[in-house]
């Protein structure tokens, strides 16, 4: 009798067939793709043996597109049509362009779209489309090397990428026809590269200093489980700043610091970059800028970049504080990013953590290698190996409350994926709809946080204020993407929103928000207390007004009415003029005391009405 081979829908008919999967480090300056072959994760080179693909895309008048080194060579001659560092534009909105204008030599189109479109001779393009070109080249490289189609990829993103930036990365992958298993943080991928091979458990710090950004992540490894305890960094600090520091020194030595000649400035940066790389291997290097010639030694170089390195260590200290750890609890430090090759960086990091950092894996490739290992597991090529990766959200998520206050539903550095619900209620009698305003940030009031989106829950049964029960659920998936659901529990009325804002956080915005939350903590708490008392005052005033309109004439004589109205007017004046929460709280108590007899009469009347026509023994 013949046997049929049966497989699950969508699965291979050959259950032991190896699926081709890859990890992609989609970088600001360079990108890489890696895969696991014969049990070893390795980055894949192009036909010239180059592993790093410059993240540069050039468009020409014929509609052709060039990606990589050839595109980079055209950047100086044709900057308007050569897109570099487009990662900085991923998930950004048009309002962010004013902050980036000084760093980007592009012309942006005037369109109704909230996504910035760059003018090129080949037409208008977005950062998502340019990133898709880079991903397509990497995909083709992998499939030609492996001899088959990729079943899926893991793409890495900076730890500070928010929902919009992550969604933009996924969109770029869709355009490149890539199946994305998962997005993971770059520092986390580096931890995978080291942790799976070398550690069973312990606390690891991942120090990631790239060309344009710095990230620090504190992770706990335990029996194959990776948990990110805290993240931090500076999205506007990297190796490029080392180049600029050296270039500025060169301009000063050559007495050209006042020049605005782009060719001289470009030459200064090129000389600076070459000098930086040479000084990683030798004590001094000869340099030339224009007609000036000189010598740059390691002593001067260290003085130039030491303030920048110290900024990274300040971020490390904050991340440890967020994780509630001492630096002596850190077992290993993983170094990521080409800028960690600088001897001073390694020395300062070793001195700060009081142990030598891990540099076994090429810091340029370690992120892609870790992503490849994760992709290999997610593709099902290691069914016996269990690995769970837990990331965290970088900023707290919450809702707007009455008085412009923010109620945090999910706190910063909470492990994801996460689902968390909280119950809210209505403020006014007969309220049949509720506006849900989702916010991100650490401050106590709406105006100091970032708006992520709004939606309205309708169909709430009319009830007295505070009687409705509205359950709001926040759900953050493994990629850091947020969905919010609101449900009125008595009727099941439901509304929801997927947070996919059309713009991302500006450079260093997250760091600024965190700093502000610390610097203004005392003021914020005082403001929150005042706003809470103001809301309570409004509630008391509205409740009294509604009651007196309903039955004031029946239950109060003229003298009593005047007494209550006088207390009411006094609280209303205090509400308008008082900036002291304790004084306002005292005024609310005065009104409540004055209205006690009225509240008692209303309660007695309600009881009599409820008892009318009934005997006591019926109850």
| Residues designated catalytic | 25, 87, 186, 208
In sequence order, the 6+-apart residues with CB closer than 8 A to the CB of 594 are 563, 564, 567
Q: Name residue 405's beta-bridge partners.
A: 401, 445
Residue 326 tokens, joined: 């001492």
Cis peptide bond prior to 367, omega within 30° of 0:
no
Half-sphere exposure of 39 (CA within 13 A, CB side): 2
Residue 212 tokens, joined: 């344009």
- Residue 247 has φ and ψ, to the nearest 5°, of -60, -40
Q: What string of H, E and C letters represents the secondary structure of 313-342?
A: HHHHHHHHHHCCCCHHHEEEEEEECHHHHC
Contact 389, 184 (CB under 8 A): yes
- Residue 59 has φ and ψ, to the nearest 5°, of -110, 135
Distance between the two ends of the chain, CA-based, in angstroms? Answer: 77
Contact 540, 588 (CB under 8 A): yes
Contact 372, 34 (CB under 8 A): yes
Residue 503 tokens, joined: 């713009």
Dist. CA 355–CA 357, nearest whole Å: 6
Dist. CA 283–CA 278, nearest whole Å: 9
Helix or strand (DSSP H, E) at 164: helix 163-175
Dist. CA 497–CA 230, nearest whole Å: 27
Contact 489, 470 (CB under 8 A): yes
Contact 571, 587 (CB under 8 A): yes
Contact 87, 28 (CB under 8 A): yes
Which residue pairs from 576-581 have beta carbons closer than 8 angstroms and sit at least 24 positions apart in sequence?
579/530, 580/530, 581/526, 581/529, 581/530, 581/532, 581/533
Q: Name residue 390's beta-bridge partners.
A: 227
Contact 433, 457 (CB under 8 A): yes
Contact 286, 292 (CB under 8 A): no
Hey, is 142 helix, strand or coil? helix
């Amino acid at each position: 009798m013949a046997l049929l081979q049966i497989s699950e829908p969508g699965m291979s008919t050959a259950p032991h067939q190896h699926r081709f999967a890859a990890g992609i480090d989609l970088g600001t300056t360079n990108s890489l793709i890696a895969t696991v072959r014969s049990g070893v994760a390795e980055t894949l080179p192009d036909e010239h043996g180059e592993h790093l693909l410059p993240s540069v895309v050039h468009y020409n008048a014929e509609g052709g597109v060039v990606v990589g080194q050839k595109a980079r060579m055209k950047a100086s001659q044709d900057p308007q049509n050569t897109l570099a560092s487009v990662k900085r534009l991923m998930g950004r909105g048009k309002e962010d362009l004013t902050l980036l204008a000084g760093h980007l030599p592009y012309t942006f189109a005037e369109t109704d779209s909230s996504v910035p479109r760059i003018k090129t001779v080949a037409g208008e393009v977005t950062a998502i489309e340019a990133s898709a070109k880079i991903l397509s080249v990497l995909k083709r490289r992998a499939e030609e090397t492996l001899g088959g189609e990729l079943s899926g990829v893991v793409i890495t993103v900076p730890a500070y990428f928010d929902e919009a930036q992550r969604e933009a990365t996924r969109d770029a992958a869709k355009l490149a026809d890539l199946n994305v298993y998962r997005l993971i943080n770059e520092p986390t991928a580096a931890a995978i590269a080291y942790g799976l091979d070398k550690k069973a458990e312990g606390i690891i710090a991942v120090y990631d200093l790239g060309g344009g950004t710095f990230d620090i992540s504190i992770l706990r490894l335990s029996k194959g489980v990776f948990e990110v305890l805290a993240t931090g960094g500076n999205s506007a600090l990297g190796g490029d700043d080392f180049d600029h520091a050296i270039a500025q020194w060169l301009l000063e030595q050559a007495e050209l610091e006042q020049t605005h000649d782009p060719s001289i400035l470009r030459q200064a940066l090129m000389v600076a970059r070459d000098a930086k790389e040479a000084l990683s291997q030798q004590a001094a290097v000869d340099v030339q800028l224009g007609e000036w010639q000189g010598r740059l030694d390691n002593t001067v170089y260290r003085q130039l970049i030491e303030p920048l390195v110290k900024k990274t260590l300040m971020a490390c200290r904050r991340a440890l504080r967020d994780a509630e750890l001492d630096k002596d609890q850190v077992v290993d430090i993983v170094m990521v990013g080409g800028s960690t090759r600088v001897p001073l960086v390694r020395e300062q990091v070793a001195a700060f953590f009081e142990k030598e950092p891990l540099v076994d894996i090429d810091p340029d490739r370690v992120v892609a290698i870790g992503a490849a290992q994760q992709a290999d597991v997610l593709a099902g090529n290691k069914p016996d190996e269990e690995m769970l990766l837990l990331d965290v959200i970088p900023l707290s998520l919450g809702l707007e409350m009455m008085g412009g206050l923010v109620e945090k539903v999910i706190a910063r550095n909470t492990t994801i994926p996460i689902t968390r619900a909280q119950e809210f209620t209505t403020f006014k009698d007969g309220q049949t709809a509720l506006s849900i305003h989702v916010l991100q940030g650490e401050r106590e009031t709406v105006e100091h946080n970032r708006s992520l989106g709004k939606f309205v829950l309708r169909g709430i049964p009319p009830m007295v204020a505070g009687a409705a029960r509205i359950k709001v659920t926040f759900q953050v998936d493994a990629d850091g993407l947020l969905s919010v659901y609101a449900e009125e529990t008595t009727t099941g009325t439901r509304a929801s929103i997927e947070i996919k804002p059309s713009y991302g956080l500006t450079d260093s915005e997250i760091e600024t928000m965190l700093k502000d939350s610390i610097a203004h903590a005392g003021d914020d708490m005082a403001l929150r207390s005042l706003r809470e008392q103001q809301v309570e005052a409004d509630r008391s005033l509205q409740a009294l007004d509604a009651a007196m309109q309903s039955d004031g004439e029946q239950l109060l004589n003229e003298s009593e009415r005047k007494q209550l109205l006088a207390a009411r007017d006094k609280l209303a004046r205090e509400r308008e003029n008082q900036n002291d929460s304790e004084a306002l709280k005292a005024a609310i108590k005065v009104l409540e005391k004055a209205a006690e007899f009225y509240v008692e009469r209303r309660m007695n009347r309600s009881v009599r009405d409820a008892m009318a026509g009934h005997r006591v023994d019926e109850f």
